[in-house]
Amino acid sequence: MYDAIVVGAGPAGAMTAYHLAGAGCRVLLLEKHKLPRYKPCGGGLSLKLFAALPGNLSGALKGRVDRIGYSYRCGDHFTAPLDLELAMVDRPEFDRRLAEAAVAAGAELKDGLAVTALASERDSFRVTAGRENFESKYLIGADGVYTVVGAWSGLVRNRRIGSALEVEVAGLAQDRRAALIDFGRVRGGYSWSFPKGGRFSVGLGGRQPAGLKAELANWLDHLGCRGAKELRPRGHALPEARIGAPLQRGNLLLVGDAAGLVNPLTGEGIRYAVQSAQLAAEAVITGRVAAYSRAVKERITGDFLFSYWLRAFFFRWPGFCYRVFVKNQGAARALSRAFCGEATFRELFFSSGRKLLKGRVLHAG
Ligand SMILES: Cc1cc2nc3c(=O)[nH]c(=O)nc-3n(C[C@H](O)[C@H](O)[C@H](O)COP(=O)(O)OP(=O)(O)OC[C@H]3O[C@@H](n4cnc5c(N)ncnc54)[C@H](O)[C@@H]3O)c2cc1C
């Protein structure tokens, strides 16, 4: 019998397993794919967060960017330096190395083994994966946006999702120290091109369910990518966070995308996967699991409320907001500080509001 079974070895699962094993718990980490596995993702996170993660991650770091080149519908370009650098990671390698860190801390990893059935007894869970059955006192759902643990527990029902498409390409004439972000083509989202060593993660995502493929082709064309038609982009869903939703039932807890922890404005989720992993592990170690949902609201989703408001405003009037809130050194810096976790989205919301009220709009651009 394990103390905890963690389902899914993305950043949320690997980090939960790492913390629990480090505290002396007997942990089983189950992953349906053989690691390393491909995960459509831009792989952008703050360098500060990256540097604080355990294990030998240097081989997963494919680039560092210190500026963002913004554009609106592929025109009206504007480059903003970042106060803090962003790390660009290769997700398969990043996730594999985090799982290795969990194993080094004492967790047992079984990859290539999908969880297919779950059952609860009085004080334990029974988890079926392949032909094997495992038992544990705690069960952690770290199995991504289509979580089987969340569905089985009843904590996740009729989840609203956004859509994203991503492809890796080589040979773009793009500055390797700059990430590119374009607004105005995808409803409720944006297009990106992130440098990863000799390659680039190019994609787009938002609340637009149809037409993404054609928009990605236009974006690739704009970036000067040759042979875009032969490329096979991969789609993946982004969960819409529900603020204050219960994420725990008994000794079962959800973390990362399984818990819906993706920022509604930026689409980033690695940071929240790592944060929720720590909160879930603390809840298990201290035996205070009933406080977990509230802790996630206080530390993570409470701030998403402001991301939702910013998103609603920004994507209602994208051209106007681009000129006022992005194409402006101060505003672009505030946005990058929020993305790096150095400022909250609440602060970004109020600084944007003040900018409007002070009438700077009239002088912008
Ligand atoms: C196109 C795209 C671009 C993105 N770009 C960024 C970005 O630049 N920066 C950022 O911070 N975030 C980004 N995100 C979000 C980020 O990828 C996720 O938030 C992050 O991966 C969440 O980590 P996780 O561990 O919760 O889930 P995942 O990384 O999805 O891991 C879940 C794991 O569970 C496994 N699993 C699923 N079902 C089972 C099962 N039944 N049994 C066993 N294992 C199972 C899966 O195989 C998977 O390995 C992007 C997302 C998309 C779709």
User: Domain holding 182: CATH number?
Assistant: 3.30.9
- In the sheet where 61-72 sits, what is the strand order? 44-46, 75-89, 61-72, 178-183, 190-196, 199-206, 161-170, 234-239
**Domain check: are 230 and 276 in the same one?**
no
Distance 39 CA to ligand 1 centre (A): 6
**Domain check: are 203 and 249 in the same one?**
no
Tell the burial category of 261 from Cβ atoms under 10 Å away from its Cβ (0-12, 13-18, 19+). buried
Query: Per mean pLDDT, which range of 201-205, 349-353, 358-362 is the poorest?
Result: 358-362
pLDDT at position 221, please?
Answer: 92
- For residue 42 and ligand 1, the question of a CB distance below 6 A is answered with yes
**Domain check: are 26 and 96 in the same one?**
yes
- For residue 15 and ligand 1, the question of a CB distance below 6 A is answered with no
In the chain, pLDDT over 70 holds for what percent of residues? Answer: 97
**Domain check: are 217 and 344 in the same one?**
no
- For residue 151 and ligand 1, the question of a CB distance below 6 A is answered with no
Q: Model's pTM, two decimal places?
A: 0.95
Using most ligand atoms within 8 A of CB, pick from 139, 147, 186, 257 the residue to mutate for ligand 1: 257
**Domain check: are 99 and 154 in the same one?**
yes
pLDDT at position 327, please?
Answer: 86
- Read off φ and ψ for residue 320, nearest 5 degrees: -60, -50
Q: How many structural domains does the chain have? A: 3
User: What digits encode the pLDDT tens for the residues 80-134?
Assistant: 988 889 999 999 999 999 999 999 999 999 999 999 999 998 899 999 999 999 9
Residue 107 lies in a domain: yes
**Domain check: are 179 and 289 in the same one?**
no
- For residue 9 and ligand 1, the question of a CB distance below 6 A is answered with yes
Task: State the average pLDDT over residues 24-33.
Answer: 98
**Domain check: are 169 and 219 in the same one?**
yes
Residue 73 lies in a domain: yes
- For residue 115 and ligand 1, the question of a CB distance below 6 A is answered with yes
**Domain check: are 153 and 287 in the same one?**
yes
Q: Does 363 have pLDDT greater than 50?
A: no
Tell the burial category of 336 from Cβ atoms under 10 Å away from its Cβ (0-12, 13-18, 19+). buried
**Domain check: are 24 and 114 in the same one?**
yes
> Computed from CA positions of residues 324, 328, 332, 333, in that sequence, does the dihedral angle turn out positive or negative?
negative
Residue 33 lies in a domain: yes
Residue 78 lies in a domain: yes
Task: State the average pLDDT over residues 63-71.
Answer: 94
Domain harbouring 287, CATH code = 3.50.50.60
Quickly state the pLDDT bin for 361 (edges 50, 70, 90): very low
**Domain check: are 30 and 100 in the same one?**
yes
C-alpha–C-alpha distance, residues 27 and 109, integer Å: 9
**Domain check: are 344 and 216 in the same one?**
no
Q: Which of 222, 239, 256 is the last residue of a domain?
A: 239
Q: Does 360 have pLDDT greater than 70?
A: no
Cβ neighbors of 152 (< 8 A, separation 6 or more) are 118
Q: Which of 261, 285, 306 is the last residue of a domain?
A: 306
Residue 311 lies in a domain: no
Quickly state the pLDDT bin for 277 (edges 50, 70, 90): very high
Q: Does 281 have pLDDT greater than 50?
A: yes
| Structural domain boundaries, residue 350 | 316-363
**Domain check: are 193 and 333 in the same one?**
no
